[in-house]
A and B are shown apart, each in its own frame.
Chain A
Amino acid sequence: MPLSERDRARIALKPRSTKRQWLVGVMCVLLGFAMAGSVQTNDTSGILASARETDLVQILDDLTQRRSRLEEETRALTSARDQLLAGSADQVIAQTRDRVRALSVLAGTVAVHGPGISITITDPTGVIDSSIILDAVQELRDAGAEAIDINGRRIVVNTWFGDGRDRGINISGAVVTSPYVITAIGDGDTMAAALRIPGGVADAVNAAGATFAANTQQDVTIDSIVQPEKPRYAAATS
């Protein structure tokens, strides 16, 4: 009579003290022992102790690459830190102040003094027009003038010249009349020489019938300033 599966299972689960049952039992003891041993080994000795040679090489490679990446990062960060330390806040502020000062002189927003030249053009008959004054300004700029003033009007980058209604010169909307006193700060001798070249400003003034006088000075002061205008169209890119 064939046994049902439940019967078979029941028979199997019944302890029978045959030799073969014991053999199977001993093998199962070994299996359990090995299982527990493997688990213990895995737990305690980490990965490296039981890793294969190729795996170890792989791990070493990974670590080496990672270390070189980190070293690179360290270098970048160190140089960034050095730059920040070198350019400390005080120094940055001081540099910025210097820059602002230089630009203020160029823009004509501060009063300045220094060695320079004082030119007086006396024109009682009104023969001097704006082109001669403009020539004089160009000549002075070419000769290295850093600040120019005409009759209390600071001459800056956007100053314009025009002729007055019947006499005088229109400087950016304000009419000035003779005598024209042009004060410029820079190398006085160079500027004087530039104005006196043959066919230059001095000759032109004299030829027109006015008088030209220039004397270099150790220290001239330009008090006039202009109010900087906020640009309507141009925006700084940085």
Chain B
Amino acid sequence: MIPALGLLIGVVLGVVLQPAVPLWMQPYLPIAVVAALDAVFGAFRALLEGVFEDRVFVVSFLSNVVVAAFIVFLGDQLGVGAQLSTGVVVVLAARIFSNLAAIRRHVFKA
């Protein structure tokens, strides 16, 4: 309950405050958000499967964000940033979809 409320509060805060994202962070923030979403859906799936652990969630959340951003940063340095960020987004989106499928099976039994 608290995490769901937190997500809502964060979105409202962001919309109200309209934070200016620092320039150096702009290429990486969307990737990091997608990575974090992957962690959140993974956590929800684990919750429904009864294997959720706060510690695992925190670590996976942080590592997902950091690794995704780092991969894109590395791609930028190598000159393949656009392609690599596309690749990261594709992988994360595929994971989100598979998590969603598992959640759906648990919730709707279908």
The residue in B4, B11, B12, B106 that gathers the most chain A C-beta atoms within 10 A of its C-beta is B11
- Which of A22, A35, A52, A55 is close to B33, meaning CB atoms less than 8 Å apart? A35
Partner of A34, one of B15, B33, B48, B54: B33
User: Chain A interface residue count: which class?
Assistant: 35 or more
* A5 and B106 within 8 A (CB): yes
The digit string for A15-38, where 1 denotes a CB below 8 A from any CB of B, is: 111001111111111111111111
Dominant SS at the B interface? helix
Residues of A within 8 A of B37 (CB): 31
Q: A28-B10, A31-B36, A54-B81 are in contact. Are A37 and B29 (CB under 8 A)?
A: yes
Given contacts A8-B47, A15-B2, A28-B7, contact A50 B18 (CB under 8 A): no
Interface size on B, residues (CB 8 A): 45
B8 and A24 contacting across the interface, CB-CB below 8 Å: no
Contact B48 A25, beta carbon cutoff 8 Å: no
Give every chain B residue within 8 A of A85 (Cβ-Cβ).
none
In the complex, which residue of chain B has the Cβ closest to the Cβ of A31? B36
Q: Which of B1, B18, B82 contacts A55 (CB 8 A)?
A: B82
Residues of A within 8 A of B (CB): 3, 5, 8-9, 12-17, 20-42, 49-50, 52, 54-55
- Nearest 8 A/B pairs, CB to CB: A36-B14, A32-B10, A20-B54, A25-B6, A28-B6, A29-B10, A25-B2, A32-B11
- Chain B residues at the A interface, C-beta cutoff of 8 Å: 1-15, 18-21, 23, 26-27, 29-30, 32-33, 36-37, 40, 43, 47-48, 50, 52, 54-55, 57-58, 61, 76, 79, 81-82, 106-107
